[in-house]
């Protein structure tokens, strides 16, 4: 039980937010209206992605000093799981934008920067494919991963503040800060973030175990 | 002080090698000049309002010229040459000397390019040329710090050219966005106070890049 409690917690939280997020009351804000509910499904994706990419950087640093294959596998699988959440974040954002801005993709700075940061991790995966030798691949891709991480932080957290965006919370558009007054949304939003981070971590552990098994099969 | 001595010696070596063949600098200069000329021929009907295009075009030309120029630094060296310099100097000295040399190269290149560019596209010269030149200098520094490290990674990975572009574009885009914004301030003739944010951010990104490169390079060069 002590190993599965967080998986149950994650599932319960995500089921709860799916139901409560669609049924509970939300404040009426201009422009956003009912589409404000997307906050529960779109924003947690980015939180899960950031957590997974941070795990990946952690294991990349570890694999540079330990030179262990396990650490390298952990790094690449957390990137794989993080990319899933990055793509889901882009898709949920695009669907929301279709109904609020009128277009799936309107080249808003936030959309562009998010897409570029996902691109960064695709480049990481391509770099891995380009190298055949396992130890060399582990070392070089770990270096690129660590080198790229600060750039992703700049891309996602610093640059959007310098640019005008239509994204909620930017440039006088109603956004996260105005919800702070409304505790109804917090009741769903915080559990949603925690739930999706746990689910993301779960996805990563499953992927890691799968790869470990594949690896064992190949060496035997 | 050992490090400073090594760096100085290695930079001297790089400059001397370049001076003897003059291959990179002449090649890149010809590349830039012919690209600018091609752009002029295709954009000759640019309207007076299209300063934005003028600015974007310059940075695209600079981006590709610098990717070609800087990627030479590690990709061009043979395995034997690399081994030799690693035996003589510390990895930090190798990286710093390459970065400084590339910065010098880029400074020469971008200055000549900007001169030629303003000469060809004479009508669009930005009102605040000094600020524009500051943006160009910041650009040369940022391009060389980022591309030097990425070219080291790409050269270790084997097939250089394509990997270099794939790996460096996502990393350079944030820098490029800042550079284009800063350069646009100069084109619009805004007062300098409006640009301090961008200059500060660019300096910060460069410090970050150099610091991570210095930390990571010692792991990279050992085979």
Complex ipTM value: 0.87
Residues of A with CB under 8 A from a CB of B: 64, 113, 116-117, 119-120, 123, 126-127, 130-131, 136, 139-140, 143-144, 146-148, 150-151, 154-155, 158-159, 162-163
* SS (HEC) of chain A: CCCCHHHHHHHHHHHHHHHHHHHCCCCCCCCCHHHHHHHHHHHHHHHHHHHHHHHHHHHHHHHHHHCCHHHHHHHHHHHHHHHHHHHHHHHHHHHHHHHHCCCCCCCCHHHHHHHHHHHHHHHHHHHHHHCCCHHHHHHHHHHHHHHHHHHHHHHHHHHHHHCCCCCCCCCCCCCHHHHCCCHHHHHHHHHHHHHHHHHHHHHHHHHHHHHHHHHHHHHC
pLDDT value at position A175?
58
pLDDT above 90: residue B145: yes
C-alpha A23/C-alpha A40 separation (Å) is 12
Percent of chain B with pLDDT over 90: 23
pLDDT band at B88 (very low <50, low <70, confident <90, very high): confident
pLDDT value at position B3?
85
The verdict on B210 touching A (C-beta cutoff 8 Å) is: no
Say whether B171 and A143 touch across the interface (CB within 8 A): no
pLDDT in tens, B37-84: 888 888 766 666 677 788 888 899 999 988 888 887 787 788 888 888
pLDDT value at position B47?
66
Helix H or strand E encompassing B216: helix B196-221
Say whether A151 and B201 touch across the interface (CB within 8 A): no
Count interface pairs A-B at CB distance under 8 A.
74
pLDDT above 70: residue A107: yes
CA distance B4 to chain A (A): 25
How buried is A214 (Cβ within 10 angstroms: 0-12 exposed, 13-18 middle, 19+ buried)? exposed
Q: Which among B153, B171, B209 has CB closest to A143?
A: B153
Residues 6+ positions from A64 with CB-CB distance below 8 Å: A139, A142, A143, A146, B219
Residues of chain A in contact with residue B158, where contact means CB-CB under 8 angstroms, are: 130-131
C-alpha A145/C-alpha A58 separation (Å) is 10
Q: Which among B163, B173, B219 has CB closest to A139?
A: B219
The verdict on B79 touching A (C-beta cutoff 8 Å) is: no
Percent of chain A with pLDDT over 90: 46
The verdict on B219 touching A (C-beta cutoff 8 Å) is: yes
C-alpha B64/C-alpha B67 separation (Å) is 5
Say whether A140 and B197 touch across the interface (CB within 8 A): no
The answer to whether the beta carbons of residues A100 and A114 sit under 8 Å apart is no
Comparing C-alpha atoms, which of A161, A211, A210, A203 is closest to residue A45? A203
Q: What is the CB-side half-sphere exposure of residue B27 using CA atoms within 13 A?
A: 14
Q: Which residue of A lies nearest to B155 if distances are taken between CA atoms?
A: A140
The verdict on B213 touching A (C-beta cutoff 8 Å) is: yes
Q: What is the arithmetic mean of pLDDT over B80-92? A: 84
pLDDT in tens, A10-57: 999 999 999 988 888 777 777 777 778 888 889 899 999 999 999 999
Q: Which among A64, A120, A127 has CB closest to B219?
A: A64
Residues of chain B in contact with residue A163, where contact means CB-CB under 8 angstroms, are: 177
pLDDT value at position A176?
58
pLDDT in tens, A64-77: 988 888 999 999 99
How high does pLDDT run on average in chain A? 86
C-alpha B167/C-alpha A144 separation (Å) is 8
Say whether B212 and A144 touch across the interface (CB within 8 A): no
pLDDT in tens, A156-192: 887 777 777 777 766 555 555 555 556 777 888 889 9
pLDDT value at position B70?
85
The residue of A125, A147, A162 whose CB has the most chain B CBs within 10 angstroms, and thus the best one to mutate to test that interface, is A147
Q: Which residue has the tokens 């930005």?
A: B126
């Amino acid at each position: 039980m002590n190993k599965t409690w967080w998986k149950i917690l994650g599932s319960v939280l995500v089921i709860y937010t799916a139901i409560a997020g669609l049924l509970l009351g939300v404040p009426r804000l201009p422009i956003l209206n009912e589409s404000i509910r997307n906050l529960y499904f779109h924003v947690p994706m980015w939180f899960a992605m950031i957590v997974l990419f941070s795990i990946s950087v952690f294991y990349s640093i570890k694999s540079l000093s330990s030179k262990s294959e396990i650490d390298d596998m952990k790094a690449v699988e957390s990137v794989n799981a993080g990319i899933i959440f990055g793509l889901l974040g882009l898709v949920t954002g695009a669907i929301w934008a279709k109904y609020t801005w009128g277009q799936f993709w309107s080249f808003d700075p936030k959309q562009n920067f998010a897409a570029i940061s996902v691109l960064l991790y695709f480049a990481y995966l391509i770099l891995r494919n380009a190298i055949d030798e396992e130890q060399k691949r582990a070392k070089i891709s770990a270096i690129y991963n660590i080198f790229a991480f600060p750039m992703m932080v700049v891309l996602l957290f610093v640059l959007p503040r310098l640019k005008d965006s239509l994204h909620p919370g930017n440039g006088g558009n109603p956004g996260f800060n105005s919800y702070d007054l409304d505790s109804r949304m917090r009741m769903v939003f915080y559990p949603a973030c925690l739930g999706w981070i746990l689910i993301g971590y779960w996805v990563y552990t499953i992927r890691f175990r799968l790869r470990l098994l594949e690896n064992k099969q190949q060496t035997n | 002080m050992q490090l400073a001595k090594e760096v100085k010696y290695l930079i001297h070596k790089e400059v001397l090698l370049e001076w003897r063949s003059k291959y990179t600098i002449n090649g890149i200069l010809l590349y830039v000049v012919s690209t600018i000329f091609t752009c002029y021929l295709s954009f000759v009907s640019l309207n007076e309002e299209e300063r934005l295009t003028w600015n974007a075009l310059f940075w695209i030309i600079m981006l590709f010229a610098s990717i070609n120029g800087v990627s030479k630094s590690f990709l061009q060296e043979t395995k034997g040459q690399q081994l030799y310099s690693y035996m003589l100097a510390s990895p930090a000295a190798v990286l710093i000397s390459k970065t400084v040399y590339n910065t010098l190269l880029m400074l020469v290149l971008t200055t000549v390019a900007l001169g030629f560019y303003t000469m060809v596209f004479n009508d669009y010269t930005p009102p605040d040329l000094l600020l524009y030149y500051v943006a160009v200098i910041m650009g040369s520094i940022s391009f060389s710090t980022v591309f030097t490290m990425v070219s080291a990674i790409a050269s270790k990975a084997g097939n250089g050219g394509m990997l270099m572009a794939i790996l460096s574009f996502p990393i350079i885009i944030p820098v490029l966005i800042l550079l284009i914004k800063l350069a646009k301030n100069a084109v619009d003739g805004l007062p300098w106070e409006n640009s301090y944010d961008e200059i500060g951010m660019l300096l910060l990104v460069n410090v970050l890049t150099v610091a991570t490169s210095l930390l990571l390079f010692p792991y990279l060069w050992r085979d």
